[in-house]
Copies of this chain bind each other. A is one copy, B any other.
Amino acid sequence: MEDQTRRRFIQKAAALSAAPFISTSVTRALARDSQKKLGWALCGLGSLSTNQIAPALLKTQHARLAGVVTDTPEKAKRWQQQYGIPAKSCYTYATMEKMAHDKNIDVVYIVTPNALHLEQTQRAAKAGKHVYCEKPMETSAERAQQMIDACKAADRKLGVAYRCRFEPNNLECVRIAREKELGALRIVEANFGFPIGDPNQWRLKRALSGGGALLDVGIYALQATRYLTGEEPISVFATETKTDPVKFAEVDESIVWTAKFPSGVVSSCSTSFAAAGMGNYLVHTERGWFGLEPAYVYSGIRGRRSDGKEINLPGIDQFAAEMDDFSRCILEADTSIVSGEEGLRDMKILMAIYESARSGKVVSLA
Contact = CB atoms under 8 A, between A and B. Distances in A.
Interface of A: 182-184, 186-187, 189, 191, 193, 195, 235, 237, 239, 241-243, 254, 256-260, 263-270, 272, 274-278, 280, 282, 284-289, 306, 360-362
Given A276-B287, A362-B360, A239 B260 contact: yes
Given A191-B189, A268-B268, A260 B243 contact: no
Contacts of A280: 282
A284 B239 contact: no
Contact of A286 (B184, B241, B264, B276): B276
Contact of A241 (B242, B266, B275, B306): B266
Copies of this chain, complex-wide, total: 2
Contacts of A258: 237, 239, 256-258, 268
B239 A266 contact: yes
Given A237-B237, A263-B243, A268-B269, A289 B284 contact: no
A284 B277 contact: yes
A274 B270 CA distance: 23
B265 A268 contact: no
Contacts of A239: 235, 237, 258-260, 266
A184 B275 CA distance: 9
